[in-house]
């Protein structure tokens, strides 16, 4: 059975686009980005934005991201995957990242949430815009503590500008 992701959450003021790989089972079940309560994404973004997000309803969380110039999407549009692990992804079909990037006039950087997103997304984007590879917010990525992930995610506070385009830089592994 193929699993499909969600539409992008962006607007004309999106400065940073955060790309995951493909929503996991819990997210697909509730039809929400980072819908698994064990996923650290919303807590990590609270630190980046200095704004409470976890207590908010989902739609208010998305609105808060947009107010701060942050958009969401996934590298993979659909794929075969039993369970939620990125290692189990087979036959992925990519989202049209380049088309979306071209439609976002304020975009300064693309951040990849995890290694799979960085590997696949980096190939699709190339050097068209500055990119940042972040450690995964997934509970399956236990190689880093929350504090280590939060430290790496602070790179989103000062995204590189378009004039500084170049290869993906990895932050905190």
Sheet holding 2-4, edge to edge: 2-4, 76-80, 90-94
Which residue of the set 13, 36, 39, 113 is catalytic? 39
Closest CA to 113 of 142, 135, 129: 135
39 is a catalytic site residue: yes
Mind spelling out the 3-state secondary structure of the chain?
CEEECCCCECCCCCCEEEEECCCCHHHHHHCCCCCCCCCCHHHHHHHHHCCCCCCCCHHHHHHHHHHCCEEEEECEEEEECCCCCHHHCEEEEECCHHHHHHCCCCCCEEEEECHHHHHHHHHHHCCCCEEEEECCCCCCCCCCCHHHHHHHHHHHHCCCCHHHCCCCEECCC
Catalytic positions are 39
């Amino acid at each position: 059975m193929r699993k499909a992701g969600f539409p992008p959450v962006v607007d004309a003021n999106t400065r940073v686009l955060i790309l995951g790989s493909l929503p996991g089972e819990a997210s697909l079940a509730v039809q929400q980005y980072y819908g698994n309560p064990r996923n650290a994404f919303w807590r990590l973004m609270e630190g980046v934005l200095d704004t409470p997000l976890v207590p908010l309803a989902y739609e208010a969380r998305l609105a808060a991201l947009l107010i701060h110039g942050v958009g969401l999407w996934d590298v993979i549009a659909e794929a075969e995957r039993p369970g939620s692990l990125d290692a189990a992804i087979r036959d992925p079909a990519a989202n049209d990242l380049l088309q979306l990037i071209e439609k976002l006039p304020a975009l300064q950087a693309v951040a990849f949430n995890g290694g799979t997103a960085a590997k696949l997304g980096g190939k699709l984007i190339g050097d068209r815009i500055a990119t940042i590879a972040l450690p995964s917010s997934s509970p399956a990525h236990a190689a880093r503590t929350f504090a280590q992930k939060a430290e790496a995610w602070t790179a989103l506070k000062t995204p590189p500008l378009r004039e500084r385009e170049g290869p993906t830089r990895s932050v905190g592994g």
